[in-house]
Chain A
Amino acid sequence: MPAVCLYFEVHQPFRLNRFSVFSIGERINPAGTYFNHELNEKVFEKVARKCYLPTNQLLLDLIESFNGRLKVSFSITGTFMEYCDAHMPEVMESFRDLVKTGCVDLISETYYHSLASLFDDLTEFEEQVKLHRDTIMSRFGFTPTVFRNTEAIYDNRIAKKVEELGFKGIITEGTEKVLQWRSPNYLYKPVSSGNLKVLLRNYKLSDDVAFRFSSVEWSEFPLTADKFASWVAGSEGDVVNIFMDYETFGEHQWPETGIFEFLRHFPQEVVEKHGLEFVTVGEAVNRFNPVGEIDVPFAISWADTERDVSTWLGNDMQVACFNELKEIGRMVKEKDKPELLKLWRLLQTSDHLYYLSTKGLADGTVHKYFSPYEHPYEGFINYMNILQDLKQRVMSE
C-alpha cells in the first residue's frame, strides 16, 4: 500500500495598481504606485481569515492528536512571507508553530514565485532560489531538501540546475505527456542526472479535492474523507502525491462545502482505517528509490489542461512582457540599485503573466476567477505600462 504525501502551495502575489501611460516616467515613488497595497492587504486578510489561520489551526490540532503520524509539507513564497510581515505576523507565527511540531516539511522555490527558470541565463533563477533558502532558514531555522519550481514548471535543464544547487528532490506534474503508461505514484530520476529524485503529483486525486470537491455535476459528488481515503489506499505504487493550493481549504472551496470536515476526517481514515502512512516530501525522497527515468526536453507544469508553460507564455502579449522583463533584467543587473532590483523581481511573479492568458473554455474561467482584471487585454496594458516605467527608471540611472 502506498504512503500518502500531502503538500500545499502557499502564495500571494503583489497585485498591481492601475497604471496608465500618463504615469510612465512621472517621478513618483514606484513601490507605492506599482502595487495596489490596499487591495493586496484586503485580499490577504480575507484569505488569511478564511483559509490560512483556520486551516493551520486544524492541522496543528490534528498533528497533535495523531501523535506525529500526520505529516504535511508546505511551500511558502517570499512574497507571501512579506505579506505576513506587513499585515499579519500571526499568520507567520502559526506556520512556525506547525513547523515546530517536526511533522512539517518546507519546500524550496524561487523567492518571487517567478519564471526565472525560463530565462536563457539561469543566474537570476539561482539567486532567487538562494534568497528563498536563506529566508526559510532565518524564519524557520529550516533547510529544505526538496525543490518545487513555480507551478511545478520542469524540464531537463531545470532539473540539472536544481541538482547542482544541492537538492535531493524536485516536484513536478505527473502528466501522461512524460509518463505515458507509467504511474505517478513512484519516484523517477531525470534523464542524465546523478541522484536527484522526482516526485510527481497525482493530478487526478489532487484535483478531485482541489477542483471537483464541490462540483455537483461530478458523478462522485459528494466526496467524503472515507471515499477519498479508499481511493488512495486502492492505488498502486510507493507514494501518492496529493499536491494543491493551500487556498483550496476555505477559499476556493468555501467552508459550506464541507472541505474542513473532509480535512478533519481524512487522516483518521488514512491512518486508522486503511493503515497507511503519511510522509513529508523530504521523507519520500529519502525512503523511496526511482523506478525509471523521465525525459522532459520541453517545459511542463501543473497549470491548465495543457500542462505546459502556455499559461504564462501562450500569447503574443505574454511573450512581449516576458521579453521586456528579460531586457529590463539585463539593465538592472548592470546597475547597483537594490530598490530597482527589488521592483524588477516583484514584477517577475508569474501571476502577472498568468492574468494575461487569453485561453478560452474551461481554463479561461479559472483564469478569470483569479484575475484582478476584467480582461487580459486590460491586464496587458497595465503591466506593460509599469514595465515601461521601470525600464525608463533603470535607463535613467
Chain B
Amino acid sequence: MKIAMIGWEYPPFKVGGLGTHCYGLTKALADLDVKIDFFMPKFSSGKPEGSKNLNIKEVGITKVFPYDRPYEEALDDDFFESVYTYNRLCAEKINGCYELVHCHDWLTMQAGIAVKKKLGIPLVLTVHSTEYDRCGGIYPNEWFINIEKTGMENADRIIAVSNFTKRIIVEKYGIPEEKIRVVHNAVSPIGEGKKRKKIVLFLGRLTIQKGPEFFLRAAKRVLEKEDCLFVVAGSGDLLPRLVNLAVKLDIADKVMFTGPLTDEEVKHIYQISSVYVLPSVSEPFGITALEAVSAGTPTIISKTAGVSEVLKNSLVVDFWDVDEMANKIVALLRYKPLHKMLSENAKKEVAFFTWDRTAEKTLEVYNEVV
C-alpha cells in the first residue's frame, strides 16, 4: 500500500503531540510495509530523516508554528497566510499513485480534501484535537470549526484519538458515528531514573486548554501540607500570567518555570519527578501522561482527558477540583505503597501501548476504505 500523509510537524521540529504521533505512527506503518510519502512544511534549519518505506517531503517554507490555537491578536494575516499557502502547495504538489491520503487536524484538512478530489482517492482524517478542546470552553472560533467540519464531512473515515474526542465529533460536529474509529495513542518508553527530591510536574504548552492555572492553585494547597517543588515545564502564551499567579499565591519560591525543554531535558524531568499532573480542561488524548508513566512517575489525570479511558493505573480528578487534586498529590507524596503500586502497575500497563499496535489499528482503518 502506498499513501500520502500530510502533517505539520515531525521530530526534531515539533511543539506538541501531533509531531510525536506522526513520528511513531509513520515508523510503525513503514514496518508494516506501508509506503508513505510524508508531507510537511519546510523549516529554516535541517530536515527530518526518512527511512525505508518512508519519504519526508518538504513543501513550501513557514516561519510560524500554528499548532497552538493562537490568541486573537495573533490571528493576523501571517498566520492565515502560512496555513493557506501550505495547504495550497500541498494540493498542487501531491501527485502520483496513492491509494489514500491521510491528514491530521485542521491545519492540513483543506489540503487533504483537495488531494482527495484531485486524485480521486479516499481521505482518512485523524483528529488529535478540535477547536472545542483548544479554546478551553471559552469562545470557540467559527473559522476553525468550519474548516474542521468541512474536513470531517469530506473524510471517508475519521480516526479519533479517544472516545472522548469521538463524542465531540459526533455531538458538536454532527458527524455520523459509523464513520469514526477510535485509535488510542502510544508511547515510546522513556525508562526510569532516580527520584531524589519531591517534585511535582506539569509539562505541556501553557495554554488555557492544558489547565496550568489549576496546577498552581493545587500547588498552593499542597504546600500547606508538604514541602516540595512544583515544576511548570513548557512555554506558551499564559506564561506571564502564570508567573504572576505564583507570586500572588505566595508560592513563587516553590514553583519553577523551565521554559521550553529539549527532548533530553524532557526525559530527565519526567524521570526525577515524583508526581505528574495533567490538569487539562479538554484533552483529546494526553500522550504526556503515558510518557511520565513510562518513566516510572505516577500520574494524576483530568477526567476530561482521553488518556483516562485507557490508563487504568492512574488517579483521576476533575480539572477544576484543585482541593481534590491537592489531596491526591499529597497522598502520592506521603503514602509510599500508593506511589509504588501506581508506578509499577502503570508501567506494566503502558508496555501495551505500542506504536505497532496503533499502526495496526490505523492500517485496519485504511483497509476499510481502499
Q: Is the CB of A380 within 8 A of B335?
A: yes
Q: Choose, from B136-144, B186-194, B274-282, B323-331, the stretch at the interface.
A: B323-331
Q: Is the CB of A358 within 8 A of B338?
A: no
Q: Is the CB of A21 within 8 A of B327?
A: yes
**How many Å from the CB of A23 to the closest CB on chain B?**
9
Given A22-B221, A22-B225, A375-B312, A319 contacting B337 (CB threshold 8 A) = yes
Give Cα A316–Cα B336 distance, bound, in whole angstroms: 9
Given A375-B312, A378-B315, A384-B331, A21 contacting B340 (CB threshold 8 A) = no
Interface residues of B in 164-209 (CB under 8 A from A): none
Give Cα A267–Cα B151 distance, bound, in whole angstroms: 67
> Which residues of B have CB within 8 Å of A374?
316
- At the interface, yes or no: B238 with Cβ under 8 Å from chain A? no
**How many Å from the CB of B268 to the closest CB on chain A?**
27
> Which residues of A have CB within 8 Å of B331?
21, 380-381, 384-385
- At the interface, yes or no: A377 with Cβ under 8 Å from chain B? yes
Closest to B226 in A: A21
Given A21-B327, A22-B326, A316 contacting B337 (CB threshold 8 A) = yes
- At the interface, yes or no: B55 with Cβ under 8 Å from chain A? no
Closest to A321 in B: B337
Given A22-B225, A358-B345, A317 contacting B337 (CB threshold 8 A) = yes
Given A358-B345, A381-B328, A385-B331, A21 contacting B338 (CB threshold 8 A) = no
Number of interface residues of A (CB under 8 A): 17
> Which residues of B have CB within 8 Å of A22?
221, 224-225, 323, 326-327
- At the interface, yes or no: A31 with Cβ under 8 Å from chain B? no
- At the interface, yes or no: B342 with Cβ under 8 Å from chain A? yes
Q: Is the CB of B327 within 8 A of A317?
A: no
Closest to A384 in B: B335
Give Cα A381–Cα B337 distance, bound, in whole angstroms: 11
- At the interface, yes or no: A320 with Cβ under 8 Å from chain B? yes
> Which residues of B have CB within 8 Å of A358?
341, 345
Convert A1-34 into 0s and 1s, putting 1 for each residue whose CB lies closer than 8 angstroms to a CB of B.
0000000000000000000111000000000000
Give Cα A317–Cα B332 distance, bound, in whole angstroms: 12
> Which residues of B have CB within 8 Å of A192?
none
Given A21-B327, A22-B327, A315-B341, A320 contacting B221 (CB threshold 8 A) = no
Convert A379-395 into 0s and 1s, putting 1 for each residue whose CB lies closer than 8 angstroms to a CB of B.
01100110000000000
Closest to A388 in B: B334
Give Cα A104–Cα B225 distance, bound, in whole angstroms: 54
Q: Is the CB of A20 within 8 A of B335?
A: no
**How many Å from the CB of B298 to the closest CB on chain A?**
9
Name the residue in A377, A380, A381, A384 with the highest tally of chain B Cβ atoms < 10 Å from its Cβ.
A377
**How many Å from the CB of B333 to the closest CB on chain A?**
10
Given A22-B221, A358-B345, A317 contacting B330 (CB threshold 8 A) = no
**How many Å from the CB of A386 to the closest CB on chain B?**
12
Given A374-B316, A375-B312, A380 contacting B338 (CB threshold 8 A) = yes
**How many Å from the CB of A297 to the closest CB on chain B?**
27
Given A21-B330, A375-B312, A317 contacting B323 (CB threshold 8 A) = no
Closest to A319 in B: B337
Convert B287-318 into 0s and 1s, putting 1 for each residue whose CB lies closer than 8 angstroms to a CB of A.
00000000000000000000000001101100
> Which residues of A have CB within 8 Å of B335?
317, 320, 380-381, 384
> Which residues of B have CB within 8 Å of A319?
337
**How many Å from the CB of B299 to the closest CB on chain A?**
11
**How many Å from the CB of A346 to the closest CB on chain B?**
22
Closest to A376 in B: B341
Given A20-B324, A21-B327, A358-B345, A381 contacting B221 (CB threshold 8 A) = no
**How many Å from the CB of A378 to the closest CB on chain B?**
7
**How many Å from the CB of A224 to the closest CB on chain B?**
39
Q: Is the CB of A20 within 8 A of B323?
A: yes
Closest to B298 in A: A377
Q: Is the CB of B341 within 8 A of A381?
A: no
Give Cα A315–Cα B342 distance, bound, in whole angstroms: 11
Give Cα A381–Cα B340 distance, bound, in whole angstroms: 14
Closest to B332 in A: A381
Q: Is the CB of A21 within 8 A of B225?
A: yes
> Which residues of A have CB within 8 Å of B225?
21-22
Name the residue in A21, A320, A381 with the highest tally of chain B Cβ atoms < 10 Å from its Cβ.
A21
Closest to A24 in B: B225
- A and B contact pairs by CB, cutoff 8 A, 17 listed: A21-B225, A21-B326, A21-B331, A22-B225, A22-B323, A316-B340, A317-B337, A317-B338, A320-B336, A377-B315, A377-B342, A378-B315, A380-B337, A381-B328, A381-B331, A381-B338, A385-B327
Q: CB within 8 Å of A: which residues of B?
A: 221, 224-225, 312-313, 315-316, 323-324, 326-328, 330-331, 334-338, 340-342, 345
Given contacts A20-B323, A20-B324, 18 further A-B contacts (CB under 8 A): A21-B326, A22-B323, A316-B340, A316-B341, A317-B335, A317-B338, A317-B341, A320-B336, A358-B345, A374-B316, A375-B315, A378-B315, A381-B328, A381-B335, A384-B331, A384-B335, A385-B327, A385-B331
Q: 9 tightest A-B contacts by CB? A: A316-B337, A20-B327, A381-B331, A320-B337, A21-B330, A317-B337, A21-B327, A316-B341, A380-B338
